[in-house]
């Protein structure tokens, strides 16, 4: 029997995405790290409210409940710029909410991303864009997880018991070659480029490794509508640019449950209809369309993010 513990799905997450720490973060920005630490100690017994990624984390950890012995398990690791001392409030809140988070790295104000790879993380979620960019440069799938448009409260929780994850294609699952062609030559040039290369697999993007790990987990669980995980590709591509995407996923041996080829339509309403717990996209425009409807993770990768 395979050793499930040897091949887990590991998600590293920052404390600001797991819990609502905006009040204390405001203290940090206005008064510095010492005032922040004092604030956290003085509120040590005040439980933190769930943050933008809390529903996602709860569903991820819930996949371990009742899963087959041979299935890879899911581990969530806390990566925080807090010190261990000021982070005690965070662990008190983790215990209160019954989250099975056992490992953590507290960097006391220093960039924490160097610890992400030693933990073997398949995905890193943070509210700090610099940490996310550094993690991507180190080869780890990463996204800046943004609050909703109206407040710092989490995006609405959805009615689905399934964990539902949606991905953009180009510059997220795949490389950004299609976006580069589109920007340089326009949509007609992009359509011809993709049509002429329909049989050539696309290159892998920063989230290919995470998608592989997620697919490995999904394959060990019930399939179809009974699966506890459901995935979707939500892309601005349209016919005829769809064929290369389908053939690439077939070549990789990856299953995505749903595929939405929107031809440039706003993605937010479709993500809400899918009931995404989280959506990953490289375009700030698409993130703005999704924010407030679902948790939206910006992937600062590819030509759309070059300055």
**pLDDT at 197 (0 to 100):** 87
Q: Which of 20, 122, 131, 168 is catalytic?
A: 168
168 counts as catalytic: yes
pTM greater than the 0.75 cutoff: yes
Give the fold, CATH level 3, of 4-144: Rossmann fold (3.40.50)
Non-local (6+) Cβ contacts of 97 within 8 A are 50, 54, 58
Give the tens place of pLDDT for each residue, 75-129.
999 998 888 887 888 999 999 999 999 999 999 888 888 899 999 999 999 999 9
Each residue of 231-248: pLDDT tens digit?
999 998 888 888 899 999
pLDDT in tens, 119-158: 999 999 999 999 999 999 999 999 999 765 444 444 455 5
Under CATH, to which class is 163-305 assigned?
A: alpha beta
Q: Which of 21-35, 100-114, 219-233 has the lowest mean pLDDT?
A: 21-35
Question: Residue 6: which pLDDT band, with cuts at 50, 70 and 90?
Answer: low
């Amino acid at each position: 029997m395979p050793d499930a513990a040897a091949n887990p799905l590991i998600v590293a997450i920052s404390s600001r995405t797991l819990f609502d720490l905006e009040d204390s973060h405001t203290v940090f920005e206005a008064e510095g790290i010492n005032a922040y630490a004092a604030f956290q100690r003085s509120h040590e017994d005040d439980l933190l409210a769930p943050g933008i990624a809390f529903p996602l984390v709860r569903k991820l950890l819930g996949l371990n409940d009742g899963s087959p012995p041979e299935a890879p398990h899911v581990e969530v690791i806390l990566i925080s710029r807090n010190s261990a001392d000021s982070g005690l409030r965070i662990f008190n809140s983790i215990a209160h909410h019954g989250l099975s988070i056992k490992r953590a790295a507290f960097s006391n104000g220093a960039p924490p991303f160097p610890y992400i790879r030693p933990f073997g993380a398949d995905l890193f979620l943070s509210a700090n864009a610099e940490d996310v960019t550094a993690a991507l440069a180190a080869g780890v799938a990463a996204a800046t997880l943004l609050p909703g448009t109206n407040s710092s409260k989490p995006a609405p929780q959805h009615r689905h018991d399934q964990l539902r994850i949606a991905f953009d294609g180009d510059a997220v699952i795949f490389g950004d070659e299609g976006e580069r062609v589109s920007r340089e030559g326009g949509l007609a040039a992009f359509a011809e480029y993709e049509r002429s290369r329909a049989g050539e697999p696309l290159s892998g993007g920063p989230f290919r490794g995470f998608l592989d790990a997620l697919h490995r987990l999904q394959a060990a669980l019930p399939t179809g509508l009974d699966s506890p995980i459901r995935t979707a590709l939500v892309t601005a591509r349209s016919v005829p640019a769809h064929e290369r995407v389908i053939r690439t996923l077939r070549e990789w041996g990856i299953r995505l449950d749903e595929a939405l080829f929107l031809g440039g339509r706003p993605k937010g309403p479709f993500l809400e209809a899918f009931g995404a717990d989280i959506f990953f996209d490289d375009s700030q425009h698409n993130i703005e369309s999704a924010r407030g409807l679902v948790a939206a993770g910006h992937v600062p990768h590819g030509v759309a993010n070059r300055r």
